[in-house]
């Protein structure tokens, strides 16, 4: 009942021009948290998803109240995305204006050590989940006739090879291909799809790298430093907003200028 | 149920600038007779799901109005 009331309240709010409803996955920490913070600062409502509520996101809820929504869900449960994520948190009657497929897991190993179970788990979260979520987001946009924006977080590793990242990079490459074709398919309904290709950031995702490995990676960039999550988040906000109304099927690279 | 389905069909037709239809015969084909293209059928699917709680395209392609009506009836939402 409380959930229904929350949904109705959101429906009313979301119809106001400055209160777009943006679904963001992986909001507990790192880049997802930075994106949630930036989108909230734009005046939008964030429907945030991650496995558990972090103290950082709870602080955003404290600050922004009902505009910082949260639903705990494990994205590896791809078969339950409709019933457990959308039906309970974003039912069809709730308009959705944007989606940021950010959540991902890392897999750092040599191809010669490739483990089938880990590979399947990787694709489940990094590829299948964003695809299924995109399906549901498009269905919501169709129902409400919303010219929505889909943003997928990709990685510089798709375009520049790094030792140990072949499996991870392949998931992001799949996402880029999915985004390009989604853009073509849904453009006539005004729905846009783009990727932000992020460089290496100082987040938990790159936590397994040694300082020496990180330094080597940063030396391959023009700016000689890590990519700032805030810069990636600003690029996401741009693609979500009206300023990017004519931008679709693109990869926006935010990576300190990898060369 | 048929009047609700008619309203859904006409909503999709109106959205694409086509005149409303007055009745839905079971034999009407979505593409050839009602002029629905693939994205129109996707929109129709979502509107039917919202109204009747059933995804009529979930288990395969449907060709006629009658096939959709049967799926809605089978789901027990009338």
List the end-to-end C-alpha distance of chain A, in Å, as a whole number. 54
- The closest CB to that of B15, out of A93, A138, A145, belongs to A145
Residue A4 has pLDDT above 70, yes or no: no
pLDDT digits (tens, 9 = 90+) for A165-201: 999 999 999 999 999 999 999 999 999 999 999 999 9
CA A108 to chain centre: 20
Radius of gyration over every alpha carbon of chain A, rounded to an integer in angstroms: 18
Residue A241 lies in a domain: yes
> Please, where are the H alpha helices in B1-78?
2-15, 38-52, 65-74
Beta bridge partners of A173: none
Residue A248 lies in a domain: yes
How large a percentage of chain B has pLDDT more than 90? 79
Cβ-defined contact of B39 to A188 (cutoff 8 Å): yes
Band (pLDDT 50/70/90 cuts) for residue A209 is: confident
Band (pLDDT 50/70/90 cuts) for residue A18 is: very low
Domain regions of chain B by residue span: 2-74
Secondary structure of chain A as H, E, C letters: CHHHHHHHHHHHHHCCCCCCEEEEECCCCHHHHHHHHHHHHCCCEEEEEECCCCHHHHHHHHHHHHHEEEEECCCCCHHHHHHHHHHHHCCCCCCCCEEEECCCCCCCCCHHHCCHHHHHHHHHHHHHHHHHHHHHHHHHHHHHCCCCEEEEEEEHHHCCCCCCCHHHHHHHHHHHHHHHHHHHHHHHHCCEEEEEEECCECCHHHCCCCHHHHHHHHCCECCCCCECHHHHHHHHHHHHCHHHCCCCCCEEEECCCEC
Which chain B residue has the Cα nearest residue A137?
B46
- The closest CB to that of B46, out of A139, A186, A188, belongs to A139
- Which residues of B make CB contacts under 8 Å with A? 15, 39, 42-43, 45-47, 49-50
Residue A37 lies in a domain: yes
pLDDT digits (tens, 9 = 90+) for A64-73: 999 999 999 9
Which ipTM score applies to this complex?
0.92
Which chain A residue has the Cα nearest residue B41?
A142
pLDDT digits (tens, 9 = 90+) for A142-156: 999 999 999 999 999
Band (pLDDT 50/70/90 cuts) for residue A9 is: low
pLDDT of residue B12: 95
Band (pLDDT 50/70/90 cuts) for residue A13 is: very low
Determine the distance in angstroms separating the CA of A122 from the nearest CA of chain B, rounded to an integer: 26
Residue A258 lies in a domain: no
Which chain B residue has the Cα nearest residue A91?
B50
CATH of the domain at A173: 3.40.50.720
CATH of B2-74, one of 3.50.30.50, 3.40.50.1220, 1.10.1200.10, 3.20.20.100: 1.10.1200.10
pLDDT of residue A10: 54
Specify the range with the lowest mean pLDDT, choosing from A3-12, A39-48, A128-137, B27-36: A3-12
Beta bridge partners of A153: A196
Band (pLDDT 50/70/90 cuts) for residue B1 is: low
Report whether A53 contacts A70 (CB < 8 A). yes
- The closest CB to that of B43, out of A92, A93, A142, belongs to A142
Cβ-defined contact of A139 to B49 (cutoff 8 Å): yes
Band (pLDDT 50/70/90 cuts) for residue B78 is: very low
Band (pLDDT 50/70/90 cuts) for residue B59 is: confident
Q: Higher-confidence residue: A223 or A203?
A: A223
Q: In chain A, positions 88-107, which contact chain B (CB-CB < 8 Å)?
A: 92-93
Residue A12: domain span: 2-252
Average per-residue pLDDT in chain A?
A: 93
Beta bridge partners of A72: A50
Size of the A and B interface in Cβ pairs below 8 Å: 21
User: A186 in contact with B at a CB cutoff of 8 Å?
Assistant: yes
Residue A249 has pLDDT above 90, yes or no: yes
A254 vs A233: CA distance, rounded Å: 10
Q: Chain B partners of A138 at a C-beta cutoff of 8 Å?
A: 42
The number of folded domains in chain A is 1
Residue A257 lies in a domain: no
A94 vs A5: CA distance, rounded Å: 11
Residue A259 lies in a domain: no
pLDDT of residue A1: 40
For the beta carbon of residue A220, count every other beta carbon within 10 angstroms. 17
Q: Chain B partners of A139 at a C-beta cutoff of 8 Å?
A: 42, 45-46, 49
pLDDT digits (tens, 9 = 90+) for A84-114: 999 999 999 999 999 999 999 999 999 999 9
Cβ-defined contact of B39 to A189 (cutoff 8 Å): yes
Q: Chain B partners of A142 at a C-beta cutoff of 8 Å?
A: 42-43, 46
């Amino acid at each position: 009942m409380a959930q229904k009331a929350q949904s109705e309240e959101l429906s009313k709010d979301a119809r106001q021009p400055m209160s777009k409803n943006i679904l963001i996955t992986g909001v507990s920490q790192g880049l997802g948290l930075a994106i949630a913070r930036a989108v909230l600062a734009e005046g939008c409502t964030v429907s945030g998803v991650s496995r558990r509520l972090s103290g950082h996101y709870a602080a955003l809820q404290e600050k922004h109240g009902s505009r910082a929504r949260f639903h705990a869900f494990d994205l590896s449960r791809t078969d339950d995305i409709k019933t457990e994520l959308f039906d309970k948190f974003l039912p069809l009657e709730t308009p959705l204006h944007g989606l940021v497929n950010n959540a991902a897991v890392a897999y750092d190993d040599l191809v010669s050590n490739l483990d089938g179970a880990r590979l399947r788990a990787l694709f489940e979260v990094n590829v299948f989940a964003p695809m299924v979520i995109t399906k549901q987001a498009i269905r919501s946009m169709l129902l409400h006739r919303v010219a929505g924006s889909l943003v997928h977080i990709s990685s510089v590793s798709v375009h520049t090879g790094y030792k140990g990242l072949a499996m991870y990079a392949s998931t992001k490459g799949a996402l880029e291909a999915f985004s390009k074709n989604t853009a073509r398919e849904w453009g006539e309904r005004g729905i846009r799809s783009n990727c932000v290709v992020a460089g290496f950031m100082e987040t938990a995702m790159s936590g397994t790298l040694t300082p020496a490995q990180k330094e080597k990676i940063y030396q391959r960039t023009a700016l000689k430093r890590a990519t700032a999550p805030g810069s990636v988040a600003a690029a996401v906000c741009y693609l979500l907003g009206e300023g990017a109304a004519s931008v679709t099927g693109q990869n926006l690279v935010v990576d300190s200028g990898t060369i | 149920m048929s009047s609700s389905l008619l309203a859904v069909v006409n909503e999709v037709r109106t959205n694409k600038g086509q005149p409303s239809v007055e009745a839905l015969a079971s034999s009407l084909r979505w593409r050839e007779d009602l002029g629905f293209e693939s994205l129109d059928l996707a929109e129709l699917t979502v509107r039917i799901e919202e109204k009747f709680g059933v995804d009529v395209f979930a288990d395969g392609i449907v060709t006629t109005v009658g096939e959709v009506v049967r799926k809605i009836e089978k789901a027990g939402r009338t």
